[in-house]
Each structure stands twice: as C-alpha cells, then as structure tokens.
Amino acid sequence: MKKQIVLLVILFGFIYFWKVTTSYRMPPDYNYDSDFGRDLWEMEKIVHGKPTLVGPQFSYAGLRLAPYHFYFFAPVLAVFNSYQAVVFANAGLFVISLVAAFLILRKRFSNLLALTSVVWLGTTSYFILAARSPGNAFSYLPFFLIYLLYIFYAENFSFLISAILGIVAGVIVNYHPIALIPTIFSFIFIALSKKKLSFKEKVAHMGSFFAAFFATFLPVIIFELRHNFVLIKTFFGSRQAEFFGNSGINLIDGFRKLPMLNKITYSLIPITTIGLFTLVFFLFLQNGKAKDKNKFYISIILTILYLVSGRGAVHYFFPTILFLQLTTIFLIKKYKFANLLIAILLLINIVSFPIRLFRPSRNPSVTESSFGQAIDRMSVPKSGINVFLINNTYLSAPGYEYRYILEKNGYRVDDEHEYGKSKYLLVISEGKRAIPTAKNSWELREFGDRKLIDKTEIADNIYYLFQK
C-alpha cells in the first residue's frame, strides 16, 4: 500500500508539473506582463554583478521590502539563461510543496485523505495560477503552505524552531506583505496556546521568533541608511494618504463590500470565499469539543479580517483562501464523511475550472525574436540607454521585458527613474502606435529634447533610437 501511495504521489506530481508548465499560458505562450518583465530584468542585473538591496515596489504606498524573490530565481536565470527556466522552477517549487504537504498530512490522516486533500489544494485555480506565474505576488505560496502546516500540527517548539519559523515568516512577508497577518498572528496564537510552556518560555519563544523575523528586513534597513530613508519618507508621504484614502484598509467600507467578494474570488475557488468560510465556521462549531479546538479560533478571526479588508485585487485573497482550505482539512479529519467532502470539493474544482483565466496574451518568444532582429539592425549603444514602450498593456511604459532582453544580450540599461541622465532612448511602438508628446509622457519629458538617429520596422512593431 505504501508503494502504491508513493507511486500515486509521484504520478500526480509529474502530471501537475506537466499541466502547469505546458497548458494555456505556459512556455512558449507565457505572457510578459509588467511584473514578470520587471523581475526578469532585476534578476538579469544580479546575474551581471549588479546586486540590489530592495525588492519590487508594492501598491502599499510605494512600499519596498527585501529582494528575496529576485535572489531565489536569479541562479536559475544564470544557469539556463532563459525566462522559461524561471517558469519551470516556479512550477517545480509548487510541486515540491505539495509533496511535502502530503508527507506532513499522512502522519495525521489516512493516506487516502492526505492524498485527496493535497490534490484538492493543487487543483484549485488560484494555486495553479500562482504555480504558472513567477512573481512576488505568487511564489511565496509554497513557503506559506508548509509554514501553516507546521504551525497547525507542531506539538512542540524548540527555540531554534521558533527562530527558523521567524525567518520563514520574514521571507514570506518580504515576498508580499499581504501575508503578514496570518504568518505573525498564527505563530503568536499557537505559542500562547501551548499549555506545557510557562509564561516566560512563551515570551522567550516569541522573542526568538521576532528577532529572526526582523532580521530578514536587514537588506531594506541597510538600503534606507544608505539612501536617507527614502522608502520611509515615501510610505509616510502623499502615497500613504492616497492608499488609505482609497479604502486600502478600511474595515467599515469592507463590510459594505462583503457581497462583492464572491464575485471577485469565484474564479479562484469555485465554491466562493464566503462559501468556504461558512463551511469552516460550520465545521468549527461541530468540532467545538475537540481537544485542540483553540487552534481554530485564529482561522475565524483572520478570515473575517481578510474578508472585510480586501481591496479587490484577486491575488490579495490568496493567503485567505489557502488558510481557509487548510483549516477545512484540519477540521474534517475526525469526521466519517471527510473523504466524501474532500472528493466533492475536488469535483467542484475540476468541473468549474476557469480556463478563461489562463489564455495566452503577449508571446515573449515572439517579442524576443523580433526585438533581437531590431537590435541587430540598429546601432544600439551598449550603455547610457533607457527604454520607453508604447502599447495597450497596463503599466508598461518602462518596457521591462525589453530591458531584460537588452541586459541578457550584454547591454547596460539605465534605471527607469533616470531618463533625465540617459544619453539614448530606445522607443518601442507595438502595433505601430503613435509616440505621445512629451506633454503627455513623464518619461519623454524627463529625457528632454531628442533627435532620431535610427529606426527599423519589424512585423507590427516600430523601433526608434533617439539621442539626447
């Protein structure tokens, strides 16, 4: 029986990896977007000896944290020199986390329930979306999954384990601060609920956890000391007022928008977030006399906080959904109908899978091929150059994907905030769109007066090279 289970896990892992990395949006059809192009460019700069102390900018009032996401995938890019390798590595990370989750669950559950639970997690559409989409908004989920499972099931903590959990929690939060509430409060709640520990021991465990947690922010602290606390000034400036003024975190307004959450998250989990929350709450009430019932309170509290404070961006709900799914699995383990319930949830995943979410968009292979031809035809300088992209995608003006391709081919591109310092400007017009006037473009205003020194046209794109 054990051999059969192992073979099933291996088979599921292989099929899952193949499906995630070859279907719909995956190579060669994985679409460049602003975030993925930006990440590739930052990783490529690291590969070429230009390290960074800060990660990508979040929508949280311009907040930037440590760049663990860049450094995690940069070695993959260095070895394989291909964006596809980063996508494969991300999918592989999710497969490993699911296998690890199975190994953890099978120690508490039957092999069948552990396997079906993991398959349910892995076939939920948001999890597949994250597995095929390398990025700071997605790639932390494997770490988050294992972290929560350990928090749920750990019997005893040593001070070393508390420190390790603090490091993992810190890395997760540096990936994306949306995971701050469940990582921090779940540890605090579990640590305080340990009856075998004295109050001093509980305080010591939390001290060990938070010391390690805050240590993960050292790169950002060093950056701030070197740059006159520019990130803090930005965070507590006009951007913060704008963020909070637009109901970024507004619990009262969140209650009013609660009915909209099903619409926002239905494509991510077919039974809806509120539906899953209702199931968890029902199981919680039924399991109220369980020995470890205190562990369930945090899922209720955290879920309510997330449900009323979500800003509407779908990936902001990923931690909530994963937390709810794990809580559901945790709650049903003692019920006779556990296998049947998980099977029903799995069937709903399969029948309601939103294929439309994963249709291809811009093809990076085509983009790279066309741009490579343009570079060969034009006299593009090796340094002192900046990039400006004109197309119809969101937040695309800096042309991060083109910056990545240039960096990959030995060109040194100036920072996207340094148009005024650059000597040359490469403008890419996708779909032969007209170049906006400097009046309508911050990038062109910053670059200043310019003259056209080269131009080429390939397929539907026009490439212009300007000199200051």
- Cβ atoms of 388 and 397 within 8 Å: the answer is yes
Distances in whole angstroms, Cα of residue 389 to Cα of each of 346, 392, 402, 424, 433: 43, 10, 8, 14, 10
Specify the pLDDT at position 293.
58
**158 pLDDT exceeds 90?**
no
Mean pLDDT of 177-192: 82
Copy the structure tokens of residue 410: 């030995």
Q: Where are the alpha helices (DSSP H) in 124-198?
A: 125-131, 141-153, 159-175, 180-193
Specify the pLDDT at position 265.
58
Copy the structure tokens of residue 119: 């398959």
Copy the structure tokens of residue 340: 């049947």
Specify the pLDDT at position 384.
92
Rounded to the nearest 10 degrees, what angle do helices 159-175 and 199-215 cross at?
40
Specify the pLDDT at position 31.
55
pTM for the model stands at 0.83
Q: Check residues 336 and 3 and name the one with the higher pLDDT.
A: 336
**427 pLDDT exceeds 80?**
yes
Q: Check residues 54 and 264 and name the one with the higher pLDDT.
A: 54
**DSSP of 267-289:** TTSTT-HHHHHHHHHHHHHHTTT
Copy the structure tokens of residue 207: 């001290």
User: Which of these ranges, 79-83, 132-136, 434-438, has the smallest mean pLDDT?
Assistant: 434-438
Distance CA 178, CA 173 (A): 7
pLDDT in tens, 315-340: 777 887 888 888 888 877 777 788 88
**145 pLDDT exceeds 90?**
yes
Counted residue by residue, the chain has a size of: 468
**28 pLDDT exceeds 50?**
no
Domain ranges within the chain, ordered by starting residue: 2-358, 364-467
User: Which of these ranges, 5-19, 235-249, 330-344, 380-394, has the smallest mean pLDDT?
Assistant: 235-249
Mean pLDDT of 402-422: 90
**440 pLDDT exceeds 90?**
no
Residue 128, classified by CB atoms within 10 Å of its CB into exposed (0-12), middle (13-18) or buried (19+), is buried
- Cβ atoms of 441 and 448 within 8 Å: the answer is no
Specify the pLDDT at position 26.
41
Specify the pLDDT at position 248.
46
**353 pLDDT exceeds 80?**
no
Quick one: which H or E segment has residue 91? Answer: helix 83-105
Q: Mean pLDDT for the chain?
A: 79
